[in-house]
Amino acid sequence: MDHLWDQISEQLKELLVSGIMHNLTGLFDATNEKVAEIAGQVGTTPQAWNAAIYNMIRNLSDNVIVPIAGAILAFVMTLELIQLVTEKNNMADVDSWAIFRWVFKTACAVVIVTNTWTIVMGIFDAAQGVVAGASGVILHGTGIDFNTVIPDLEARLEAMEIGPLFGLWFQSLFVGICTWALSVCIFIVVYGRMVEIYLVTSVAPIPMAAMMGKEWGGMGQNYIRSLMALGFQAFLIIVCVAIYAALVQHIPAAPDIAYAMWTCMGYTVLLCFCLFKTGSLAKSIFAAH
């Protein structure tokens, strides 16, 4: 009976060891792949990221939004003129210089609206230049190599008892699911930012039309701040990835497999949390409320 139990235990142990090795092999490959793509994704301008989407958004902006922006511009500058001529003694004392200033402001507003797309893309080009420079300076290897953290993984598993192996198998299975979910989160942050850029730029002529208005100018100013926040969010993302890279490159060899696995998992969770926070942080920096 003891011999039979020993054989069953040995077979069960082999199954658990092979199952754990299968779970741990390539455990962080999906995450490593998504993290490695971050610099390339956030370092791309809207026109280079997806030309088809870019052209569609620009056509919508030029053909649908610009006429509305023209009407808003006419309303804002007409209201500005009415306020200008009525604020001094019921139009009895109108300064000719004030009229000239209004004409100049209106001309500037027309130039801004007709060149909105150039202005908006210029902001993102400037931001991407900063990101490209930062990527070459601070980014190093971002991959987690579990074999480096646990160099003799299979030998350690062979030395463990069945009970701890059961627990480690369940943990490795759970961590595998979590790492897949985290790679999806990274995808959402990176691609979601680009989708947000396209959505925000599609209506750019409307807030830009109100830029020169005395009372409506805050709309355009806040819009420019939001564009700056979206552009430089990419720089904050690069900094997050650089911090993550510094952490994973100095993971010490762990004496315990579960500890090493959860340490690597913790670094990945920290990266995802920081990536999600970059949007609100960028907006708070540029006060885009």
pLDDT tens for residues 120-137?
888 888 888 888 777 766
Maximum separation of any 2 CA atoms in the chain, in Å: 114
DSSP assignment of 3-16 equals: HHHHHHHHHHHHHH
Q: How many residues does the chain have?
A: 289
Model's pTM, two decimal places? 0.81
Amino acid in position 164:
P
Work out whether the CA dihedral 27, 30, 33, 38 comes out positive or negative.
negative
Range of the domain at 11: 2-65+115-285
Q: For residue range 47-89, what is the model confidence (pLDDT) as tens digits?
A: 888 888 899 998 988 888 888 888 888 888 888 777 777 766 5
Instruction: Give the pLDDT score at 95.
Output: 64
Distance CA 207, CA 223 (A): 6
Instruction: Report yes or no on 100 lying in a domain.
Output: no
Instruction: Show the tokens assigned to 226.
Output: 């939001």
Instruction: Report yes or no on 246 lying in a domain.
Output: yes
pLDDT under 70: residue ranges of the chain = 1-9, 87-98, 136-143, 145-151, 213, 252-255, 287-289
Instruction: Give the pLDDT score at 198.
Output: 92
b/e code 160-191 from CB counts within 10 Å (16+ = b): beeeebeebbebbeebbeebeebbebbeebbe
Instruction: Give the pLDDT score at 288.
Output: 47
Instruction: Show the tokens assigned to 23.
Output: 């779970």
Instruction: Report yes or no on 184 lying in a domain.
Output: yes
Instruction: Give the pLDDT score at 247.
Output: 80
Amino acid in position 264:
C
What residues contact 182, with CB distance under 8 A and at least 6 apart?
31, 268, 269, 272
Domain count, the chain: 1
Instruction: Show the tokens assigned to 163.
Output: 């009970």
Instruction: Report yes or no on 161 lying in a domain.
Output: yes
